[in-house]
Amino acid sequence: MRPQTYKIIKVAGFLLLLAVAITMLYPLLWMLGTSVKTNDPAALLREGAGAGVFPSDRNILSNLFPPVWHWDNFAEVFRISPFARYYFNSALIALVVTAGQLVTSSLAAYAFGRLIFRGREKIFFLYLATLMVPASVTLIPLFIIMSKAGLVNSYFVLIVPPMFGAYGTFMLRQFFKGIPDELEEAACIDGCNALMRFIYVVLPLSAPALATLGIFTFLGNWQSFLYPLVMVSSDNLKTIPLGLLNFVDENSANWPLLMAASVWSILPVIGIFLFGQRFFVSGTRLGGVKG
């Protein structure tokens, strides 16, 4: 290929990537832009139709941001709904579930991956087999059990059942299996029992895998929707996704407020993303694929 053609292809590729990046990010910018617009008739009269979500022209560039940014929408969300409570519930549940998952999964993964006992492969196969079963299969009986036990509408039902995951166990087991035996043998000679080897040898070496599992468990629970929707109806126990839904019912066409609430809901996610980006783009969580 002539160098000139090569250069043209490269520039075209770059421009294409740029176009895709803009397409990907524009909806999120649109979200931010809408969240600082206003629905207040007085403000619309003062600042023109461009300050609201129903502008007179449909130019997506000039309509992205309003002439005056109404940051107050973000405070208004907390004033007109128990959003602080939703935030607290979501954070509490996601944190405790994540901690629980890390503890139970890593302990079980150590047994499956590095210890020998009768029935190990059979039990592990049982874990794997349930990964294929849709969540709706277990959700219905779980709801019946919890409601008969009088446990629906409690922190218990939101926190305890999600703390156990076959997926996390599977992922960590794959990782643990890759740690060289010699390290544990050395610790064994130094007089370490299984628990000490687990704590002082295996866990420190698995920090990236644990971080990845932790991040994805946290995000999964932060965004979890169907499970709390089924299990909880009391306003005091609602998480952010459920709270947002309440918000829609009460402020149906107030897009600026809805978008402000939505921005609040994804803010921690973006924070975690920027903080832990290497765990997302490394693909460790999908382990075991050879390509």
Partner 1 sequence: MHNKPFTPWLFLAPSFLGFVAFTLFPIVFSLVLAFCAWDLFRPPRWVGWENFQQLLGFTVREIPAINPMLGAVLFFVCLALAAGGMIRLRGFGRTAVIMALLVLAVVILLQAWEPVNERFWYYTANTFYLLLGLPISMACSLGLAVLLNQTIPGRNLFRLAFFLPSIVGGVGIYLLWKWIFNTEYGLINSVIAMVHPAGGPAWLESQAWAKNALIIMSVWATAGGANMVLYLAALQNVDPQLHEAACIDGAGKWRQFLSITWPMVSPTTAFILIMGVIGGFQGGFDAAYVMTRGGPAGATTTLSYFIYENGFRYFYMGRAAAASWILFVMVLGLTLANWKWMSNRINY
| Pattern 157-176, partner 1, x by CB under 8 A | ---xx-xx-x--x-------
Asked if 34 interacts with partner 1 (CB under 8 A), we say yes
Judge whether 259 and 34 are in contact, CB under 8 Å.
Answer: yes
Asked if 183 interacts with partner 1 (CB under 8 A), we say no
Asked if 244 interacts with partner 1 (CB under 8 A), we say yes
Q: Which two tokens stand for residue 163?
A: 């703390």
SS3 percent helix, strand, coil of the chain, rounded to 5, is: 75, 0, 25
Asked if 36 interacts with partner 1 (CB under 8 A), we say no
Q: Which of residues 85-144 bind partner 1 (CB under 8 A)?
A: 103-105, 107-108, 110-112, 114-117, 120, 123, 126-127, 130, 132-144
Of the two residues 21 and 75, which places its CB atom closer to partner 1 in the complex? 21
CB of 248 to partner 1, least distance (A): 7
Asked if 280 interacts with partner 1 (CB under 8 A), we say yes
Identify which range of 58-66, 69-77, 79-87, 205-213 contacts partner 1 by CB under 8 A.
58-66
Counts for the chain of helices (H) and strands (E), in that order: 16, 0
Asked if 205 interacts with partner 1 (CB under 8 A), we say no
Judge whether 50 and 67 are in contact, CB under 8 Å.
Answer: yes
CB of 271 to partner 1, least distance (A): 11
CB of 185 to partner 1, least distance (A): 7
CB of 68 to partner 1, least distance (A): 19
Tell me the residue type at 179: I
Judge whether 83 and 51 are in contact, CB under 8 Å.
Answer: no
Asked if 46 interacts with partner 1 (CB under 8 A), we say no
Identify which range of 65-73, 74-82, 91-99, 181-189 contacts partner 1 by CB under 8 A.
181-189
Cβ neighbour number for residue 38 with a 10 Å cutoff: 22
**Of 163, 167, 171, 155, which is closest to residue 101 (Cα–Cα)?**
163
In angstroms, the first-to-last Cα distance of the chain is: 28
Q: Which two tokens stand for residue 166?
A: 């076959």
Judge whether 241 and 87 are in contact, CB under 8 Å.
Answer: no
CB of 203 to partner 1, least distance (A): 12
Asked if 188 interacts with partner 1 (CB under 8 A), we say yes
Q: Which two tokens stand for residue 242?
A: 């459920």
Rounded Cα distance, 160 and 147, in Å: 15
Select from 68, 87, 223, 287 the one that contacts partner 1 (CB under 8 A): 223
